Amino acid sequence: GAPRRARLRIWRGDGPSGRLTDYTVDAHEGEVVLDLIHRVQATQAPDLAVRWNCKAGKCGSCSAEVNGRPRLLCMTRMSLFAPDEVLTVTPMRTFPVVRDLVTDVAFNYAKAREIPAFVPPPGLGPGEYRMSQEDVARSQEFRKCIECFLCQDVCHVVRDHEENKESFAGPRFLMRAAELDTHPLDAAGERGMDRARGAQEEHGLGFCNITKCCTEVCPESIRITDNALIPLKERAVDRKYDPLVWLGSRIRRR
């Protein structure tokens, strides 16, 4: 069919001097917001900065906000919106703007480093690891994460609270702690490390009050809150009050 004219308001600039700028471009059937951003670049604003890579929802690069909701620009179909709706496209609000739609997501890399890595089981060499299918299936859901950081962007604990950033790892990395905490081969416990209590006491799990906004925006439909954060909270509380529960859970898992 013939293209229609779509109206976009795009955040331009770096930091305090930034402002919304209006553009009108053609929109063809089946296009996504990133197609229109690219058309603005090609026809009106060659210096418009936008980060993207795969255009298939898999690299996690094109994260931004459309009408205030965190989204992957490459997976957001124009057909979601009314034809006369003005789309406001802004950079992720929780992270500092580099320029235009590009943010500096270094916060997330710093948080990734703070979660203790997988501790290999002593006495097993490469090729000797064995896991039951049930354990594989559980962690598989979390491993679908493409590190788009939309969950980190939306979580109210840090979204408008710069002061919480130091003590809160965010849903993506609390999920990582949850994954390792139930990993049957992780030997952190043998080193005296309790991942659930560590998440609670050092990585800000207690800040999460289960609003589930993270789960709602996850493009991989990972049930972050129900399957990672809530069970992790429960394990942290159990172990706090009863160290034997924690020890028992380690032994049963063998």
Stretch 98-127 residues interacting with ligand SF4 (CB under 6 A):
none
Is 150 a residue that touches ligand SF4 (CB under 6 A)? yes
CA distance 80 to 48: 24
CA distance 224 to 174: 9
Identify which of residues 211 and 221 has a Cβ nearer to ligand F3S in the complex.
Answer: 211
Is 208 a residue that touches ligand SF4 (CB under 6 A)? no
Is 161 a residue that touches ligand F3S (CB under 6 A)? no
CB 8 → ligand F3S: shortest distance, Å? 27
Q: Is 47 exposed, middle or buried (0-12, 13-18, 19+ CB in 10 A)?
A: exposed
**Phi, psi (rounded to 5 degrees) for 33:** -60, -40
Which residues on adjacent β-strands are paired with residue 187?
A: none
Binds ligand SF4 by CB under 6 A, chosen from 27, 146, 196, 232: 146
Site string for ligand F3S, 220-249 (x = CB under 6 A): -----x---x--------------------
Is 62 a residue that touches ligand SF4 (CB under 6 A)? no
Which residues on adjacent β-strands are paired with residue 26?
A: 5
CB 204 → ligand FES: shortest distance, Å? 27
218 binds, among ligand F3S, ligand SF4, ligand FES, none (CB under 5 to 8 A by kind): ligand SF4
Amino acid at 144: K
Is 176 a residue that touches ligand SF4 (CB under 6 A)? no
∠ CA 35-41-42, rounded to 5°: 85
Stretch of 17-25, 97-105, 116-124, 153-161 contacting ligand F3S, by CB under 6 A: 153-161
Which residues on adjacent β-strands are paired with residue 87?
A: 8
Is 132 a residue that touches ligand F3S (CB under 6 A)? no
CA distance 92 to 68: 9
Give the E-state strand segments of the chain in sequence order. Answer: 4-12, 19-27, 63-66, 69-72, 87-90, 97-99, 102-103
Identify which of residues 38 and 203 has a Cβ nearer to ligand FES in the complex.
Answer: 38
CA distance 21 to 66: 14
70 binds, among ligand F3S, ligand FES, ligand SF4, none (CB under 5 to 8 A by kind): none
Stretch of 16-24, 28-36, 139-147, 235-243 contacting ligand SF4, by CB under 6 A: 139-147
Identify which of residues 40 and 178 has a Cβ nearer to ligand F3S in the complex.
Answer: 178
CA distance 231 to 193: 18
Nearest alpha carbon to residue 236 among 202, 198, 204: 198
Residues of the shown chain interacting with ligand F3S in the complex, contacts defined by CB under 6 A? 154-155, 157, 171, 208-214, 225, 229
